[in-house]
């Protein structure tokens, strides 16, 4: 099976969007650049419908969904029970700021937090808003002016989160002057480690940088409010931190009285096989940021959980917005958590994670273009390289992702030389196995035939597949 992409209906809609939607001119320019170099633009499609483990494009081609609403649909696409709960909330409340679902939803979410140590919850609409709220909470709670984040991190697209994020050197161009309160620290990658260090040595260096270099040569420790870290660097390439690194951050935060913020917007609620990824490091943060999986992908709902002394009485730290904690969002969150508990979703996700890890375990040895396979539960990524060092590494990743899409598997490949996969936590095991079979076929094809995809033109709409 090989789909001709884009199909006629998808192409017509894509062409229609070029004159009016964001990056339409950029798409045309970069597609032309690819053609000049002898490369094709990536395969494209527009989603026509979605259900469970699958999506169909408007041309009725079916795809196994490893993109998963950018890791937002933990129970698959369009879960009927969550849709019904949201519908009933709309019928009963429409939109009201004060409604009776807000309190039980906050109580339920707080009850799931690591160690039962974060009893208060503040609603936000998106992960971006929640991350910004968490940072402001830390600044106001400590009365300090600096935050530490990490290279390759991503915390959102708001003004504040753009300043904290660092997954692309081009992302904040022309906004450099706004980032004066952010200190960027190295993240302990597991590949391309500098100076010939082992990973253990690099982790030790990264912790030394936090504890000694920043505080002795950059900013006094007493003027740093805290650290924001992802226990699984998702957008930056699905990098998995070591236990020593995460526990080291906790130790340093305790030493200097810094607030430890854990951003679990993507890694939380089962993505790594436990309720929170931080649970696997035996660490309790001071603030935890949650989003995406919280409402089953049906209605926006996100927020911040924190210690009593941080969120219970911090009048200078404002948060929330008009649509934070809507009736429908709270109804979706309550129903999602109910299904998690009723259907033992965490155990199923852990089983799928083991299946995937085992299935991909030989790829680094079998394929020269595979630089590294990284899995942590269902936080999955495969990094690619040019073994000859001639083409850009990300051309290989994009070519693999393109071949996958034409075979009927939808995964993510954006700014980094890897393909990322976020299947639903309740995906059928045989469906996941089939998807990985097709992915390996795609890797084998690119290994034999070489790259076919060059510069990656952005899509002309946020509503199309890439």
Task: Note the pLDDT tens digit of each residue in 365-386.
Answer: 999 999 999 999 999 999 999 9
pLDDT at 465: 38
CATH number of 96-325: 3.40.640.10
pLDDT, tens only, 137-146: 999 999 999 9
Mean pLDDT of the 89-108 span: 95
pLDDT at 394: 87
Rounded to an integer, the average pLDDT of 301-310 is 96
Residue 330: pLDDT above 60? yes
Q: Listing from the earlier edge strand, what are the strands of the sheet with 224-229?
A: 120-124, 302-306, 287-290, 259-263, 224-229, 146-150, 182-185
- In this predicted structure, the answer to whether residue 296 has a pLDDT above a threshold of 90 is yes
Q: Give residue 236's pLDDT.
A: 79
Q: Encode the chain in three state secondary structure.
A: CCCCCCCHHHHHHHHHHCCCCCCHHHHHHHHHHHHHCCCECCCCEEEEEEEECEEEECCCCEEEECCHHHHCCCCCECCHHHHHHHHHHHHHHCCCCCCCCHHHHHHHHHHCCHHHCCCEEEEECCHHHHHHHHHHHHHHHHCCCEEEEECCCCCCCCHHHHHHCCCCCCCCCCCHHHHCCEEEECCCCCCCCHHHCCHHHHHHHHHHHHHHHHHHHCCCHHHEEEEEECCCECCCCCECCCHHHHHHHHHHHHHHCCEEEEECCCCCCCCCCCCCHHHHHCCCCCEEEECHHHHCCCCCCEEEEECHHHHCCCCCCCCCCCCCCCHHHHHHHHHHHHHHHHCCHHHHHHHHHHHHHHHHCCHHHHCCCEEEEEEECCEEEEEECCCCCCCCHHHHHHHHHHHHHHHCEECECCCCCEEEECCCCCCCHHHHHHHHHHHHHHHHHHHHHCCCECCCCCCCCCCEEC
Convert the pLDDT of each residue in 394-403 to its tens digit. 889 999 999 9
State percent of the chain over pLDDT 70: 95
| Calpha distance 58→374 (Å, rounded) | 33
The pLDDT of residue 334: 98
Mean pLDDT of 305-328: 89
pLDDT tier, 464 (very low <50, low <70, confident <90, very high otherwise)? very low
Question: What is this structure's pTM?
Answer: 0.93
User: What's the N-to-C CA distance of the chain in angstroms?
Assistant: 20
The mean per-residue pLDDT over the stretch 88-98 comes to 95
Answer for the pair 176, 350: CB distance below 8 angstroms, yes or no.
Answer: no
Per the prediction, the chain carries an average pLDDT of 91
For residue 74, the tally of other CB atoms under 10 A from its CB is 30
Q: pLDDT tens digits for 241-286?
A: 999 999 999 999 999 999 999 999 999 999 999 999 999 999 999 9
Q: Order of strands, edge to edge, in the sheet holding 409-410?
A: 409-410, 62-65, 54-57, 45-51, 464-465
Separation between Cα atoms, residue 463 and residue 203, nearest integer Å: 39
CATH 3.40.640.10 boundaries in the chain: 96-325
23-37 per-position pLDDT tens digit: 788 877 877 887 888
Residues of the chain with CATH 3.90.1150.10: 8-78+345-465
CATH topology of domain 8-78+345-465: 3.90.1150
465 compared with 218, residue with greater pLDDT: 218
């Amino acid at each position: 099976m090989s789909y001709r992409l884009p199909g006629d209906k998808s192409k017509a809609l894509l062409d229609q969007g070029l004159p009016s939607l964001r990056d339409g001119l950029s798409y045309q320019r970069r597609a032309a650049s690819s053609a000049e170099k002898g490369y094709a633009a990536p395969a494209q499609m527009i989603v026509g419908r979605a259900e469970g483990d699958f999506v169909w494009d408007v041309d009725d081609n079916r795809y196994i969904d490893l993109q998963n609403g950018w890791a937002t649909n933990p129970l698959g696409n369009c879960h009927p029970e969550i849709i019904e709960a949201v519908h009933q909330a709309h019928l009963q409340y429409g939109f009201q700021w004060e409604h009776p679902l807000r309190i039980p939803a906050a109580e339920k979410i707080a009850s799931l937090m690591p160690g039962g140590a974060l009893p208060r919850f503040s609603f936000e609409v998106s992960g971006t808003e929640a991350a910004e709220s968490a940072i402001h909470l830390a600044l106001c709670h400590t009365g300090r002016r600096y935050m530490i984040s990490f290279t390759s991190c991503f915390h959102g697209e708001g003004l504040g989160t753009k300043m904290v994020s660092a997954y692309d050197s081009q992302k904040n161009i022309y906004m450099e002057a706004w980032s004066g309160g952010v200190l960027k620290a190295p993240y302990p990658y597991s590949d391309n480690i500098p100076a010939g260090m082992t990973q253990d040595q690099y982790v030790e260096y990264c912790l030394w940088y936090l504890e000694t270099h920043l505080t002795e040569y950059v900013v006094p420790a007493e003027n740093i409010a805290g650290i924001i870290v992802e226990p699984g660097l998702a957008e930056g390439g699905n990098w998995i931190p070591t236990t020593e690194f995460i526990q080291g951050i906790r130790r340093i935060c305790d030493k200097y009285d810094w607030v430890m913020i854990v951003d679990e917007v993507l890694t939380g609620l089962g993505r790594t096989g436990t309720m929170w990824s931080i649970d696997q490091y035996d660490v309790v943060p001071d603030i935890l940021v949650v989003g995406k999986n919280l409402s089953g992908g049906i209605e926006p709902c996100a927020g911040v959980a924190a210690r009593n002394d941080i969120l219970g009485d911090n009048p200078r730290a404002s948060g929330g917005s008009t649509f934070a904690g809507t009736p429908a969002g709270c109804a979706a969150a309550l129903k999602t958590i109910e299904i998690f508990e009723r259907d033992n979703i965490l155990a199923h996700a852990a089983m799928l994670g083991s299946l995937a890890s085992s299935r991909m375990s030989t790829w680094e040895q079998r394929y020269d273009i595979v630089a590294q396979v990284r899995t942590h539960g269902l936080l999955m990524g495969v990094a690619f390289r040019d073994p000859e060092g001639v083409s850009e590494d990300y051309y290989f990743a994009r070519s693999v992702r393109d071949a996958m899409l034409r075979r009927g598997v939808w995964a993510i490949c954006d700014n980094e030389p890897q393909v990322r996969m976020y299947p639903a936590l309740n995906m059928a095991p045989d469906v996941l196995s089939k998807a990985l079979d097709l992915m390996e076929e795609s890797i084998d094809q690119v290994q034999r035939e070489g790259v076919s995809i060059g510069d990656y033109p952005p899509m002309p709409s946020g509503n199309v597949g890439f």
